[in-house]
Homo-oligomer: A and B are copies of this chain.
Amino acid sequence: MSAHRIAVIPGDGIGTEVVPEALKVARAAGADLEAVTYDLGGRRYLATGEVLPDAVLEELRGFDAILLGAIGTPEVPPGLLERGLLLRLRFALDLYVNLRPFRAAASVGAGVPLDVAVVRENTEGTYAGEGGFLRKGTAQEVATQGSVNTRFGVERCVRYAFGLARTRRQHLTLVHKTNVLTFAGDLWQRTFEAVAAEHPDVTTAYQHVDAACIHFVESPQRYDVIVTDNLFGDILTDLAGAVAGGIGRAASANLNPDRTGPSMFEPVHGSAPDIAGTGTADPTAAVVSAAMMLDFLGEADAAARITKAVADLAPERGRSTAATGDAIAERL
């Protein structure tokens, strides 16, 4: 296989510390990566006022994949970089599936084995940014916030989830809040049922998002694949990360399954300004994100070997970022 051209966005805080370990491990697994680093995130914004210049976005479209560390620094107003960079990339590159796998031998809580993949819709819902103010700043102020859901957007995401379930334990759970979100929930449920009819080999379930939170604590072994909307996926995957033993190990893939452009791979965790610079961040989530990238690029073997090496490495408190990267790389 020829080299994979990868755009690397280390970003802010611990993002800049974990990404080199992810690249180190990917290369140790034999991946031929041609990496171009892009300086985007808080530092660049503070220095130049630029978040994601249009020309850079166009360049990024030309890569095979994007590996991102973490975005966000305390000096920048919250949301500005997240929306201007992270969410903009998800939307502009039409990365409509946010795939987040979780695995643990014993979940925090019930202590049962957990092996769940959450398929989060990644380009619609409340993340579309719909809404506004009326009489802002007065005692009569009204702030509205809209969730936009399309049959097109929901169906392609649900279809991906059924396809994924077929390659796993053939069980798919839709999580929503149909008893309250009667419009969005109804569209999701009708779409789910229509696609389910084409997949008689996949058993299905439905759960309200509040009940799903209980089940993640009490009986997460019930889940194989979960499909849900953008906001519920955001919430459930942080919970799943905690229940699987810590968000420091949770990886994610922002996928364009149609491959009309690059997909983007990133840890679920943020830039963690509190521990940035100490060299103690756990690079596992970035390493597994790189493995998901390799898998998506056709390097299933290298990806599987990294995943196994990570699973075999016992977590160790206080091990440095580089030492963890080295320990994983050595196992390959």
Docked pose: A83 CA to B179 CA in angstroms: 8
**A180 closest partner in B (C-beta):** B127
Give bound CA distance, A210 to B235, whole Å: 4
Question: For window 116-163 of chain A, which residues contact chain B by CB distance below 8 Å?
Answer: 126-127, 129-133, 137-152
CB-CB nearest in chain B for A240:
B213
Residue of B nearest to A153 (CB): B142
Cα(A218)–Cα(B244), bound, Å: 11
Task: Name the one of B87, B181, B214, B242 contacting A145, with C-beta atoms under 8 angstroms.
Answer: B181
One of B145, B149, B183 near A184 (C-beta < 8 A): B145
- Return chain B residues, CB-CB under 8 Å to A138: 151
Inter-subunit contact B239/A239 (CB<8 Å)? yes
Evaluate contact between A139 and B127: CB separation under 8 angstroms: no
Instruction: Tell me if A299 counts as interface (CB < 8 A to partner B).
Output: no
Chain A window 234-262, contacts with chain B (Cβ cutoff 8 Å), 1 for yes, 0 for no: 11011101110011000000000000000
Chain B residues contacting A130 (CB-CB under 8 Å) are 144
Contact: B178 with A79, CB < 8 Å? yes
Q: A211-B238, A213-B239, A239-B239 are in contact. List 7 more A-B contacts (CB 8 A).
A: A127-B180, A132-B183, A142-B149, A142-B150, A177-B231, A213-B238, A214-B241
